[in-house]
């Protein structure tokens, strides 16, 4: 049989390919209305939080330490008003086998793939998730293909992504590298069809469920060490799985910590642009992923994403590229830890947010990530400069993504800037409401209120403004 491999034909077979490549029939969670059964999807994996904890222990993942960053706290207090400056902690996720929290997301997917008899796993990722899946596939004895977006049309690769390719290959994976474009998911569908491997999607319930252990650990670690919960947990936000999983884990542990999302501000840069691809210094944890995935979670490689960050966010702040580079240097020179840089996005935000809080409060940046050649402030700043990006000291508020990187001229200029969460909530409601088949029902309104962590009144207001009839 000749298989049509055109873009239209392959993406047209998406539902069928994904069903075969995951053993999950997503259609069973649809209700024929705006709503879908999110919690059922999360609970149907067959893995409870306790199962994830046990599996991760079995495969050397998790139980990472928390570190109090006393010098950074001291510096934040010098920048803050008297009495302000919460204790800043970081969870050292870099100490996972492949160097990031993403391994929590990979364990159950790879385990499930093996249990179901798949010979290998495939993941679409230019980031740490590739190394995480490769590491788990190595440990659990499966083949692994990582598909990454890496080069522009001149063949120039983002140093950070080139390093991820090296790491994946070091862990035994095949790395298929692509030039810029959203057809990455088309290539993945073709690979799934060709190999019959398991789709270890970042957005599956196996993956996002695995991150719940991070939130669970945080709650228990702070109770053990400080006798209380953290007041604020800052999560870097891109596809939303990190925040979603962490928040769900915290809730399951009974923690009332505020959840603050943080992304690097790349406003104005198109993520699918060939010419702009190498004019950015951050390939993840940025607004180019964070905002579209928050407002429209279901445009990934699965029909329904388990990562639904708007459900759990209390606030969403942005930081500039120059500020994340700066905090990465601060972590090295004041705390003796070389990590990141992308994994320090939440730490940059935490440094600024701590200054709003009282000194007896606790704020935690819930991840670090490994560093290495290519993936480090020096090669990344050198690459930016080579690509014509100006690097200067000044007020990062004036940074223009794609034109310059402004390092704070002094530490007090590092700020966390409020993103308009209500605007994002409205955007999600507007998109999802298009599925309405008649007047919007009370059940649909309640669902949208959950999706946006808002209220029935808020949802009703937005729907009325959009001209929808309410049942």
User: Binding residue for another protein (CB under 8 A) from 44, 92, 187, 356?
Assistant: 187
Which of 427, 428, 308, 444 lies closest to 33, judged by CA?
A: 444
Cα–Cα separations (whole angstroms), residue 145 to 55, 132, 183: 22, 12, 17
Stretch that binds another protein, among 103-111, 160-168, 229-237, 249-257 (CB under 8 A): 160-168
Considering only 37, 166, 431, 460, the residue that binds another protein (CB under 8 A) is 166
Candidate list 123, 139, 162, 202; residue touching another protein; CB under 8 A: 162
Residue 172 touching another protein (CB under 8 A):
yes
Tell me whether residue 60 or residue 195 sits nearer to another protein (CB atom): 195
Per CB under 8 A, does 348 bind another protein?
no
C-alpha–C-alpha distance, residues 295 and 306, integer Å? 14
326 binds another protein (CB under 8 A): yes
Q: Is 380 in the site for another protein (CB under 8 A)?
A: yes
- Report the distance separating Cα 451 and Cα 440, nearest Å: 15
Among positions 376, 415, 425, 426, the unique one binding another protein when judged by CB under 8 A: 376
Which residues, other chains included, contact 405 with Cβ-Cβ below 8 Å and sequence gap of 6+? 281, 320, 321, 322, 325, 381, 384, 389, 390, 391, 392, 399
Q: Which is nearer to another protein, 138 or 362 (CB)?
A: 138
Which of 35, 61, 132, 145 touches another protein (CB under 8 A)? 145
Shortest reach from residue 263's CB to another protein, in Å: 21
**Applying CB under 8 A, does 44 fall inside the site for another protein?**
no
Q: Judged by CB under 8 A, does residue 60 bind another protein?
A: no
Q: How many amino acids of this chain bind another protein (CB under 8 A)?
A: 66
Q: How far is the CB of 143 from another protein (least distance, A)?
A: 5
Report the DSSP pairing between strands 120-124 and 143-151: parallel
Tell me which stretch binds another protein (CB under 8 A): 36-44, 278-286, 303-311, 369-377: 369-377
Residue with tokens 């001209």: 467
| Paired tokens of 80 | 């803050």
**E strands in 297-343:** 315-319
74 contacts another protein (rule: CB under 8 A): yes
For position 29 contacting another protein by CB under 8 A, the verdict is no
Query: Under 8 Å CB-to-CB from 46, ≥6 apart: which residues?
Result: none
**Phi and psi angles of residue 203, each rounded to the nearest 5 degrees, phi first:** -105, 10
Strands (E), 210-336: 232-236, 258-264, 315-319
Structure tokens at 356: 């709003």
CA distance 385 to 381: 6
Q: Which of 19, 33, 60, 179 binds another protein (CB under 8 A)?
A: 179
Q: How far is CA 330 from the centre of its chain?
A: 23
Please tell me whether residue 33 binds another protein under the rule CB under 8 A. Answer: no
Give contact residues for another protein (rule: CB under 8 A). Answer: 6-7, 71, 74-75, 78-79, 120, 143-145, 150-151, 153, 159, 162-163, 166, 169, 172-183, 186-187, 194-195, 197, 270, 272-276, 325-326, 329-330, 332-334, 373-374, 376-383, 385, 391, 393, 407, 410-412
């Amino acid at each position: 049989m000749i298989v049509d491999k055109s873009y239209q034909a392959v993406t047209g077979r998406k539902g069928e390919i994904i069903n075969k490549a995951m053993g999950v029939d997503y259609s069973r969670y649809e209700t024929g209305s705006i709503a879908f059964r999110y919690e059922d999807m999360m609970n149907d994996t067959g893995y409870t939080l306790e199962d994830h904890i046990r599996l991760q222990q079995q495969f050397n993942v998790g139980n990472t330490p928390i570190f109090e960053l006393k010098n950074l706290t001291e510096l934040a207090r010098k920048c803050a008003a008297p009495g302000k400056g919460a204790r800043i902690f970081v969870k050292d996720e870099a100490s996972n086998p492949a160097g990031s929290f993403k391994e929590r997301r990979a364990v159950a997917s790879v385990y499930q793939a093996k249990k179901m008899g798949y010979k290998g796993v495939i993941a679409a990722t230019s980031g740490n998730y590739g190394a995480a899946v490769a590491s788990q596939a190595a440990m659990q004895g499966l083949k692994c293909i990582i598909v990454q977006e890496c080069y522009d049309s001149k063949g120039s690769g983002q140093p950070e992504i080139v390093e991820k390719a090296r790491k994946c290959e070091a862990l035994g994976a095949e790395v298929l590298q692509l030039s810029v474009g959203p057809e990455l998911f088309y290539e993945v569908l073709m690979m799934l069809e060709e190999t019959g491997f398991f789709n270890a999607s970042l957005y599956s319930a196996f993956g996002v469920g695995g991150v719940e252990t991070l939130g669970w650990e945080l709650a228990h670690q702070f109770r053990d060490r400080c006798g209380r919960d953290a007041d604020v947990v800052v999560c870097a936000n891109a596809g939303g799985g990190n925040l979603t999983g962490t928040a769900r884990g915290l809730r399951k542990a009974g923690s009332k910590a505020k959840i603050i999302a943080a992304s690097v501000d790349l406003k104005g840069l198109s993520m699918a642009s060939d010419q702009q691809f190498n004019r950015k210094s951050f390939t993840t944890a940025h607004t180019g992923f964070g905002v579209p995935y928050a407002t429209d979670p279901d445009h990934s490689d699965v029909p329904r994403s388990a990562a639904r960050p708007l459900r759990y966010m209390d606030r969403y702040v942005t930081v500039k590229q120059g500020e994340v580079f700066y905090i990465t240097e601060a972590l090295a020179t004041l705390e003796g830890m070389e990590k990141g840089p992308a994994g320090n996005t939440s730490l940059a935000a935490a440094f600024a947010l701590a200054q709003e809080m009282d000194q007896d409060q606790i704020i935690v940046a819930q991840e670090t990530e490994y560093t290495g050649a290519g993936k480090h402030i020096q090669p990344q700043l050198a690459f930016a400069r080579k690509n014509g990006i100006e690097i200067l000291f000044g007020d990062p508020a004036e940074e223009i993504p794609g034109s310059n990187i402004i390092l704070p001229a002094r530490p007090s200029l590092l700020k966390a800037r409020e993103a308009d969460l209500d605007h994002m909530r409205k955007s999600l409601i507007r998109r999802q409401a298009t599925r309405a088949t008649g007047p919007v029902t009370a059940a649909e309104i309640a669902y949208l209120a959950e999706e946006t962590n808002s209220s029935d009144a808020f949802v009703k207001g937005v729907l009325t403004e959009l001209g929808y009839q309410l049942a």
